Amino acid sequence: MIKQYFRQAFKRGAVSLVRRQVFVWMMVVMPLLSAFFFFDLMHKGPVTRVPVGVVDLDNSSTSRALSRNLGAMQNVEIKCHFANFQEACDAVQRGDVLGFILMPAHLEERALSGNHPTISYYVSYAYYTPASMMYKGFKTITVLANGAIATVALRTLGMRSEAISATLQPVATQVHPINNPWVNYSYYLNSSFVPALLALLILLVTAFSIGTEFKYGTCRQWLRSSGDSITIALTGKLLPQTCIWCAIGWFIQFMMYRIYQFPLNCHPMIMIVAMVLFVLANQAWAIMAMCVTPNFRYGSTLCTLLGMLTFSFCGFSLPGESMYNWVEALGYVMPAKYYFLLSCDEALNGLPLYYTRYNIAALIGFTILPWLLKWRLKNECLHPVYVP
């Protein structure tokens, strides 16, 4: 008898997916299209070779050296050399360049005499990312300018090159980025942003599929077809969605780790199982929201809020250490937080499973938690109260 009720509930859930096009768009088209968009957008890394201009009013050996150093940087590319400030401004307004650096007249002479000349740079922030790269390049070249002037001054005093290097940089540093030596921004951002987007879609679709039973007054029929068992009703309705979400999640992982070559320093089966736990945890979190507020509008709004807060409070965009304690604590009530930590420990760092046991236990705990409040959902199905 239980098998028959489960078969009826499963059939009801599968038929609802086929009849409504919104499920196809939200469960297949949106996650795959979004994942492909972000992976392909950042596949080549951050923005480089931003077009800039140079206004060299000094035309000395020092200013020319600074121009060559600026052109050798990966962030910017010198497109034009301008005769004066007005020409450079006109070029920025036309869109020929996105910024320029101005080296004043008598730059080398005033620097060697100790008059502190000023190097100015102008950046158009109409495009934020290229502007940030320009600012970084201009800031670096001005720091190098100080070193270049000091080098010339020390050389005129008869100091040797080795002594000059030791004076300007007494301690040499070496940077070795761990587990992301390419410093690829896509490996950092997309490994957290795309799963967070998938979590948002899972929350919305799960809340929508349960909430429509209350909205259209079919909750009694839904429960009756499952033998008055809310466990069978929920399992049968959500199991088809679970299969689809896992397939979509596995394909996204295939895109990440095989097509776009994201670092994968653990056995692939670990991330495959982690995706299953991730899907189940988010579905369970949506069930929990519907148990607390068994209403289509309230439940969907709560899931939307939780899904959007995933992007802000889980440490993806801002490190948790920089947040207020209560804000950081909110991130630990989102399943995506633990999946992100698990992917960092396993896929990125290649740690043994022992060190990620708490994250795995948290995802399993999310899966179990809503079944403790399923009686509220059953009572609402037996005695539905429409709230407009």
Query: For position 330, what pLDDT does the model report?
Result: 81
**Residue 226 and residue 144 in one domain:** no
**Residue 255 and residue 211 in one domain:** yes
The full DSSP string for 326-380 is HHHHHHTTSHHHHHHHHHIIIIIT---GGGGHHHHHHHHHHHHGGGGGHHHHHHH
Beta bridge partners of 120: 102
What CATH number did the domain enclosing 161 receive? 3.40.1710.10
Query: For position 95, what pLDDT does the model report?
Result: 85
Alpha-carbon distance values, 130 to 51, 97, 224 (Å): 9, 11, 59
Closest by alpha carbon to 49, among 97, 109, 5? 97
**Residue 78 and residue 213 in one domain:** no
Query: For position 300, what pLDDT does the model report?
Result: 87
**Residue 311 and residue 193 in one domain:** yes
**Residue 340 and residue 282 in one domain:** yes
Q: Note whether residue 179 is domain-resident.
A: no
Closest by alpha carbon to 263, among 175, 177, 349, 354? 349
**Residue 248 and residue 378 in one domain:** yes
* Mean pLDDT along residues 19-23: 87
Q: Return the SS3 of 200.
A: helix
Task: Using the predicted structure, report yes or no on whether residue 270 has a pLDDT greater than 90.
Answer: yes
pLDDT class of 164 with cuts at 50, 70, 90: low
- Contact predicate 226/236, CB 8 Å: yes
Three-state secondary structure along the chain? CHHHHHHHHHHHHHHHHHHCHHHHHHHHHHHHHHHHHHHHHCCCCCCCCEEEEEEECCCCHHHHHHHHHHHCCCCEEEEEEECCHHHHHHHHHHCCCCEEEEECCCHHHHHHCCCCCCCEEEECCCCHHHHHHHHHHHHHHHHHHHHHHHHHHHHHCCCCHHHHHHHHCCCCCCCCCCCCCCCCHHHHHHHHHHHHHHHHHHHHHHHHHHHHHHHCCCHHHHHHCCCCCHHHHHHHHHHHHHHHHHHHHHHHHHHHHHHCCCCCCCCHHHHHHHHHHHHHHHHHHHHHHHHHCCCHHHHHHHHHHHHHHHHHHCCCCCCHHHCCHHHHHHHCCCHHHHHHHHHHHHHHCCCCHHHHHHHHHHHHHHHHHHHHHHHHHHHHHHCCCCCC
Residue 320 to residue 306: CA distance in whole angstroms? 17
Q: Note whether residue 101 is domain-resident.
A: yes
Token pair for residue 22? Answer: 């919104």
Residue 192 to residue 272: CA distance in whole angstroms? 16
**Residue 81 and residue 152 in one domain:** yes
**Residue 211 and residue 119 in one domain:** no
CB atoms within 10 A of CB 38: 16
- What's the structural domain count of the chain? 2
**Residue 229 and residue 347 in one domain:** yes
Q: Note whether residue 175 is domain-resident.
A: no
pLDDT digits (tens, 9 = 90+) for 32-62: 999 999 888 877 766 678 889 999 888 888 7
Q: Note whether residue 176 is domain-resident.
A: no
Task: Using the predicted structure, report yes or no on whether residue 114 has a pLDDT greater than 70.
Answer: no
Last residue of some domain: 168, 199, 220?
168
Q: Note whether residue 240 is domain-resident.
A: yes
**Residue 191 and residue 320 in one domain:** yes
Last residue of some domain: 168, 203, 227?
168
**Residue 192 and residue 290 in one domain:** yes
Domain holding 14, by residue range, is 2-43+184-382
Average pLDDT value for the chain: 84
**Residue 159 and residue 208 in one domain:** no
Query: For position 226, what pLDDT does the model report?
Result: 83
Q: Return the SS3 of 159.
A: coil
Sorted by sequence, the CB contacts under 8 Å of residue 210 that are 6+ apart come out as 234, 237, 286, 287, 290, 299, 377
Query: For position 257, what pLDDT does the model report?
Result: 93
Last residue of some domain: 168, 195, 225?
168
Q: Note whether residue 174 is domain-resident.
A: no
Q: Note whether residue 90 is domain-resident.
A: yes
* Strand-pair category, 50-56 with 99-103: parallel
pLDDT digits (tens, 9 = 90+) for 165-214: 666 667 767 777 777 777 777 787 888 889 999 999 999 999 999 888 88
Which of 265-269, 280-284, 291-295 is predicted with the least confidence, judged by mean pLDDT?
291-295
Q: Note whether residue 387 is domain-resident.
A: no
Query: For position 43, what pLDDT does the model report?
Result: 74
Burial 337-374 (b: 16+ CB within 10 A, else e): bbbbbbbbbbbbeeeeeeebeebbebbeebbeebeeeb
